[in-house]
A and B are shown apart, each in its own frame.
Chain A
Amino acid sequence: DGGITQSPKYLFRKEGQNVTLSCEQNLNHDAMYWYRQDPGQGLRLIYYSQIVNDFQKGDIAEGYSVSREKKESFPLTVTSAQKNPTAFYLCASSIGEKLFFGSGTQLSVL
Chain B
Amino acid sequence: AQRVTQPEKLLSVFKGAPVELKCNYSYSGSPELFWYVQYSRQRLQLLLRHISRESIKGFTADLNKGETSFHLKKPFAQEEDSAMYYCALSGSGGYNKLIFGAGTRLAVHP
A residues touching B (Cβ–Cβ < 8 Å)? 31, 33, 35, 40-45, 48, 50, 56, 58-59, 90, 94, 96-103
Contacts and interface: CB of A to CB of B under 8 A. Distances in A.
* Most B Cβ at <10 Å: residue of A35, A45, A50, A58: A45
Interface in B19-40: 32, 34, 36
A64 to B, nearest CB: 16
A33 B44 CA distance: 14
List the 4 closest pairs (A to B, CB-CB), nearest first. Answer: A42-B100, A43-B100, A101-B44, A97-B95
Interface residues of B, number: 22
Main secondary structure of the interface of A (DSSP, over half): strand
Interface of B: 4, 6, 9, 32, 34, 36, 43-46, 49, 86, 90, 95-103
Contacts of A43: 86, 98, 100
B70 to A, nearest CB: 14
A101 B101 contact: no
Contact of B44 (A40, A58, A90, A94): A90
Contacts of B96: 31, 33, 48, 50, 56, 94
15 contacts: A40-B9, A41-B102, A42-B4, A42-B99, A42-B100, A42-B101, A48-B96, A56-B96, A90-B44, A94-B96, A97-B32, A97-B90, A97-B95, A98-B46, A102-B43
